[in-house]
Chain A
Amino acid sequence: NAGVMQNPRHLVRRRGQEARLRCSPMKGHSHVYWYRQLPEEGLKFMVYLQKENIIDESGMPKERFSAEFPKEGPSILRIQQVVRGDSAAYFCASSPSDRVWNSPLHFGNGTRLTVT
């Protein structure tokens, strides 16, 4: 019973390149959440997606960042034209429903993005 799977674990990009981070939710889960952790800080919410729908992207920067969760395949967090300030750990979590208030949120192992 695999947990939330994220890949790659580490990603190095030069300034201006694109970064694509992938998240496969737990089996049976159709709700995905992306969080970002800057160095020495706690995690901060970015975006909430269901299959083929973005439900809440209020925590995501307006430019260069986008997310999708297609009908088939993993959820993708895409960062275009990366800058040094994008260097962070990006975590994904999933749930079987949107009623997360009454159950724990489990995170994947994260993708550590380094922009050089």
Chain B
Amino acid sequence: GIQVEQSPPDLILQEGANSTLRCNFSDSVNNLQWFHQNPWGQLINLFYIPSGTKQNGRLSATTVATERYSLLYISSSQTTDSGVYFCAVPRRDSSYKLIFGSGTRLLVRP
């Protein structure tokens, strides 16, 4: 089945710094989602991005489907950005089965 790998596994930033999170996937996909799981465990949908680039405030994401990767950019990080960031892609045979990466755990220090 499709493999989803995220890097780095852990990241510590000083408030105000920028960062790039990466998601590699082993097969072609027709959509990709980025989620933020906050310290309270809530799962927040950040981007639905099959291809191209999208921006939402200080966050932006780029998916290059032909090269099987997606990047999540966080600029001017804030302590509220702390948590775990997951990317997820659907299985080919059953698109409701999202395959999640193992996540990048981000800690932003004041």
* B90 contact set on A, CB distance < 8 A: 100-101
Given contacts A103-B48, A107-B43, contact A44 B100 (CB under 8 A): yes
Closest-CB distance, B99 to chain A (whole angstroms) = 8
Given contacts A42-B100, A45-B97, contact A104 B48 (CB under 8 A): yes
Instruction: Tell me the total A-B contact number using a CB cutoff of 8 A.
Output: 60
Closest-CB distance, A32 to chain B (whole angstroms) = 10
User: In the complex, how many residues of chain B place their beta carbon closer than 8 angstroms to a beta carbon of chain A?
Assistant: 21
Decide if A69 is an interface residue (CB 8 Å cutoff).
no
- Across the interface, B41 reaches (CB within 8 A) one of A100, A103, A112, namely A112
* B102 contact set on A, CB distance < 8 A: 41-42
Contact pattern, B 70-110, Cβ under 8 Å of A = 1, otherwise 0: 00000000000000001010100011111011110000000
* A59 contact set on B, CB distance < 8 A: 97
Tell me the B residues contacting A by CB distance below 8 Å: 30-31, 33, 35, 41-43, 45, 48, 86, 88, 90, 94-98, 100-103
Tell me the A residues contacting B by CB distance below 8 Å: 31, 33, 35, 41-45, 48, 56, 59, 89, 91, 95, 98-107, 109-110, 112
Q: Could you show 6 A-B contacts with beta carbons less than 8 Å apart?
A: A42-B88, A42-B100, A43-B43, A45-B98, A91-B43, A105-B96
